Amino acid sequence: MTLPIKLNDEQQAMLNGERGLAKQMGMRLLVDMAATAGVREFVPITSAHLSGVSPLTGGLGLRQFLAKLAADPEAQVAIPTTLNSAGCDEAQFDEMRITAPHFREHNHEIVEQYTRLGVRPTQSCIPYEWEGVVADGPAAWAESNAICFGNSYTGLITNRESGLSALACALTGYTPKYGLLDERNRRPNLFVVVTTELTDPADFSILGDWIGKQRQSDWEMPYGPIPVIQGLPADLTHEQKKALTAAAANYGCPMLYIDGLAERPSGYFQSRLFFGERELRQRYAELYPDTAVSLIVIGCPQASLGELKATAALLQGKQVSSDAPPLWVFTSSANKAIAEKIGLAEIITGAGALLLENTCPEVVPYDQNWVKHILTNSMKAEHYITSGLNGIPTSVMKLADCVAVAVGELEIEDWRLAETPLADRQMGQTRPLPPLPPRHTSSRKATGAFQAQGRGLPSQKNFTVTGEAFVTNAPITLLGFVNRETGVIEEPGHPANGQSMAGKIAIFPKGSGSTVAPYVLLELYYRGKAPLAIVNTEIDQQSAPACSLEGIPYAYDFDKDIIHHINPGDQIELKRDGDEVTIRVLKRKRDQDYHYV
């Protein structure tokens, strides 16, 4: 293995296994990350924040991987490290009416394993609100809203890490100097002009999400949209800034600049966007609930003290109506403790709302026998609850309107389910979900001999893998759309829907979706249902980390079009010799058996 980066004595000792298995695995992943990014320097970091806590997102893959690390007596994080929101409030588990089997036990196991590694079990998606958390300087954070908030407002310097890469950085104390750790990559690339007054935090949430939705395929933004926003007041509240960055992160924004708030570097702007009264009104109209609401959630990201004060003020002297949806308010354990001391918690719970800690609306496994439609004041909640593992229709209104619905002052529609069996009910949605973008499928079968050269991960040794090819020209969303137990693609509209990757050499462009997705691949590996090898057209930050950590053969960046020259079902060979990886067709699938994906 030719290392692309010069290691110091400490780093080399970790890579050699002299500091234990956990740090060796972490350093191996960082070396691979450095190689794929083309950098030759590691920098020490001041803090880490880890995502991948809820059993809903991490699953068996996360639990088994953490158990493997925790079995190493030398496995301890090297720098102050905090933990993201868990999947439930264990103390109020029954009140959350979660029915997923063994969920509380698995949630407890995950938090306990992280704690054994020396991670501070904050169970919070707002580390920037915690006392004692280092939120400036080079870091490795893996929660999208926290990344965008820290990079934008606190002096934090972090990439959008995956759960696995952030953990590797935490164990070793280093990160490759690439991406947003290079000042040149922190320049703005989008100019947004706001021409209407924004006041409520929900207004800012809608703006942040709207910016991400405007992204065009021809924009060159390798690290995501980094907008400059003009037209906002200079005296924004903490809650307004938080709502803006949390929603902007929905579509990959790692940081933003508010014109006039602080100095900013010059940039190359891909486009100039205008957000005015018409756009704001249109989005509120599109997000307004037009069918029955069954649950109201506040606090995504977890509610600050300011948000708790605003909620308590709206609930003062009122009661959540028995004819209205339940109201759940999510916050951190630190903020809840303060709220209890100053009387805010008593007002909120006294009004009949549920005040939850240690969890967040987007990672809860709702019982969909009764949770059919959620109302929130957060575009972050709307984005994640409607997609992925929950897939529940979600509407958005301002906080005051959400509370008004909860106390019966504003009626949308009777929230209670019809007295009909679940199987007989139509699973309605507030708005039709957008169709999947069209994917090109070819009816032309590749023939004849084919061979191509590509790249591999520096940490992997020589290998030869032969097997059946699984091929699709569409990205694969591992979290939520790949069956964790079988490896079958379960995404209607995807050209490979219904096809299994298990036991095959999987060839696809790259992964898409959540940064917690590598744990899905790990679970498939632990269940014996993973692909024999993974081949991407470009480096995939979802597949590559799992392959690096567990030695699943991996290759990318080939000199020829592998997707259109290899057919599904062809017998192929993937071979690594030194630094070179070769893929070649051994036998074409017979015409009568051929199946296109």
Known catalytic residues are: 514
In the chain, the amino acid numbered 379 is M
Which SS3 state, helix, strand or coil, does residue 565 take?
helix
- ω before 301 within 30° of 0 (cis)? yes
| Terminal Cα distance for the chain, rounded | 35
Overall residue count recorded for the chain in this entry: 597
User: How many Å apart are CA 130 and CA 132, to the nearest integer?
Assistant: 6
Give the type of residue at 584: R
Task: State the alpha helices, DSSP H only, in 18-54.
Answer: 21-37
Neighbours of 486 (CB within 10 A): 14
112 half-sphere exposure, CB direction, 13 A CA radius:
11
Q: Would you state the structure tokens that stand for residue 482, as one six-digit string?
A: 């790949």
Contact in structure between 331 and 357 (CB atoms under 8 Å): yes
Contact between residue 193 and residue 232 where contact means Cβ atoms under 8 Å apart: no
**CB count, 10 Å around CB of 326?**
18
Residue listed under structure tokens 């439930």: 88
- Rounded CA gap, 272 and 274, in Å? 7
| Beta carbons of 506 and 535 less than 8 angstroms apart | yes
* Phi, psi (degrees; rounded to nearest 5) at 552: -75, 125
H, E, C per residue of 528-581: CCCCCEEEECCCCCCHHHHHHHHCCCEEECCCCCHHHHCCCCCEEEEEEECCEE
Asked if 395 contacts 377 with a C-beta cutoff of 8 angstroms, the reply is: no
Joined together, the tokens standing for residue 70 give 């925790």
Query: What is d(CA 398, CA 403) in angstroms, rounded to the nearest whole number?
Result: 9
Longest dimension (CA), the chain: 78
C-alpha 158/C-alpha 134 separation (Å) is 12
Q: What angle do CA 364, 368, 371 make, to 5 degrees?
A: 80
- Whole-number Å distance between alpha carbons of 353 and 361: 15
Q: In what order do the strands lie in the sheet containing 156-157?
A: 81-83, 47-50, 137-141, 156-157
